[in-house]
Chain A
Amino acid sequence: MASVVLSEAEKLYIVHGVQEDLRVDGRGCEDYRCAEVETDVVSNTSGSARVKLGETDILVGIKAEMGTPKLEKPDEGYLEFFVDCSSNSPELEGRGGEELGTDIANTLYRVFSCENSVDLKSLCINPKEHCWVLYVDVLLLECGGNIFDAISIAVKAALFNTRIPKVRVLEDEEGTKEIELSDDPYDCIRLNVDEVPCIVTLSKIGYRHVVDATLQEEACSLASLLISVTSKGAITSMKKVGKGSLDPESIFEMMETGQRVGKSLHIALQKILDEEENLGTSRPKVGFLG
């Protein structure tokens, strides 16, 4: 990951600031930076979203393709994640970003491994034979800290925006099946994203923990906890990153904070997604030239 080098005095300044609940940019420990969310930014995907969280800039595209269901789950579709960070910084160019990319993708697999996060049954077309596969491609355009949270917000927004064409399975007398695509391009199914979790990263700085750490703050933190929280506040997965250690007491504290912050994160995201939806086609698209 693009990391910054800080002098000892700068780190000390940040650590003391966190202890006093006043971070360098004036935020408290549980405040997010102002986020911008826009969906439907890439026209040749089934659903897409772009999220800017401070400096961090994430683009997610979701492409629905027909595939065969997995053997162990014949009546369900599935999601595939791919994360590309090559455009982020020179050190991640080419194969350099692969490790970080697979790391993020694996985290996303774990977050979405929870049974009811996405209704996979609705992605089934024809048990054992055909299902929809959602290829979720994440592009890291700029890294300004807290990429996991930003990616999860973008994935949720893109899933909300995803429209999968409706298909019907026709069967003739001989038993051969045929798949028929609906003629109406607006006739499509949408996913229920109520249960899709978002990741909240809590970085331990000094004796306290902060959410939405900037790159500078990440440099001061030895260990952080990724918690995926649903809109109801249920924790679906947890992961510790960083080389430092966390004592059990602070883990519980962090989980509590994560739950609380996660809930307000979901509320804010759902509000903005609904607002955008209500604007419909009247919304001026900003895209990449804004």
Chain B
Amino acid sequence: MAAVTMRLPAARAPLDSSALRGGEKHLVAPGDTITTDTGYMRGHGTYVEDDKLIASVAGVVERVNKLVCVRALKARYNGEIGDIVVGRITEVQQKRWKVETNSRLDSVLLLSSINLPGGELRRKSAEDELAMRDYLQEGDLISAEVQSIFSDGAVSLHTRSLKYGKLAQGVLVQVSPSLVKRQKTHFHDLPCGASVILGNNGFIWIYPTPEQKDDEAGGYTANLEPVPLSDREVISRLRNCIMALVTHKIMLFDTSILYCYEASLPHQIKDILKPEVTEEIVLGARQRLLDSEG
């Protein structure tokens, strides 16, 4: 059965006022005057003209003592130490991999900051350097943690924990980094039968929940067995739910994704992306989120 649906584009509906709970946030558009008080210092995303402090990007005004910055809503990923990221290897170089993480510059993963297969602890030798492409090659996806940030803003990653490492079968969804809520943990085994890694850089990895947790290979052997259909259904549904939440600009964290997943259950997986169904599901999920927050 071939299904082809076409529609006329609909103009974006104005935001529901009930959604604007966080009204205390100071949002500005480029060119808006933030303050006319000359006692403030200009930070990122602002400039001074005629003694007025004016925003140069659209975003949230943040103040630290006398310093005023505007954090852009739509920006590339700005690394912070300790962040969990998901990235894709783009290049294998001398003693390092280049990793695409949606930041302004490619991130690096040093050979010295990975766990060797098998969890062996020793200094990396010249042989390891030659075998780098056996560990990770171009196109491979990894989960990692931000170890440090260089002076030019490039991020250095590490995978020195069994939590991190090469990712096997699953689906990658790319969203805006500002939609990922910062939490204690970004690895979630959802009760619906799949797991997600919510990278702080806006890369979200959805994968079948692994059966045994103790990985002897140290995360470098990929399980290439076909994923059962039931798991696939859950993963596809989760993927579409995340897309739905993103189109309605709802923060992504385990509860919001789960509520959206549960609200989507009456619908077919492929129907979730139809605008009217998306709206219905997201409204349902948002209501539950508001209720649970009290």
Contact = CB atoms under 8 A, between A and B. Distances in A.
Interface of A: 5-10, 12-13, 16-17, 20, 22-28, 30-38, 52, 211, 257, 260-261, 264-265, 267-269, 271-272, 275-276, 283-284, 286, 289-290
B215 to A, nearest CB: 15
A8 B10 CA distance: 39
B5 A32 contact: yes
Contacts of A6: 139
A17 B232 contact: yes
A9 B239 contact: no
Given A5-B139, A20-B232, A36 B7 contact: yes
Interface stretch (B18-26, B57-65, B162-170, B181-189): B162-170
A12 B141 CA distance: 14
A11 B219 CA distance: 19
10 contacts: A7-B141, A8-B222, A9-B224, A10-B170, A12-B169, A13-B171, A22-B269, A25-B236, A264-B4, A289-B11
Please classify how large the interface on chain B is, using the bins under 10, 10 to 19, 20 to 34, 35 or more: 35 or more
Contacts of B140: 7
Nearest to A275: B8
A261 B268 contact: no
Pick the most buried of B8, B90, B232: most chain A CB atoms within 10 A of its CB.
B8
A34 B268 CA distance: 14
Interface stretch (B40-48, B67-75, B124-132, B270-278): B270-278
B9 interface: yes
B5 A35 contact: yes
A25 B11 contact: no
Contact of A25 (B12, B90, B138, B273): B273
Contact of B6 (A35, A257, A289): A35
Contacts of B2: 30-32, 211, 257, 260-261, 264
B167 A9 contact: yes
A36 B8 contact: yes
A253 to B, nearest CB: 14
B234 to A, nearest CB: 11
Given A25-B273, A290-B11, A32 B236 contact: no
Nearest to B232: A22
Contacts of B12: 290
A37 B236 CA distance: 26
A27 B7 CA distance: 18
Contacts of A20: 229, 232
Given A17-B232, A26-B269, A211-B2, A290 B170 contact: no
Contacts of A23: 236
Given A7-B140, A264-B2, A52 B8 contact: no
Nearest to B170: A13
Nearest to B235: A24
A237 B5 CA distance: 24
A38 B8 contact: yes
Contact of B7 (A24, A30, A35, A260): A35
A25 B240 contact: yes
B240 to A, nearest CB: 6
B105 to A, nearest CB: 15
B15 interface: no
A22 to B, nearest CB: 5
Contacts of A275: 8
A31 B6 CA distance: 12
A27 B88 CA distance: 26
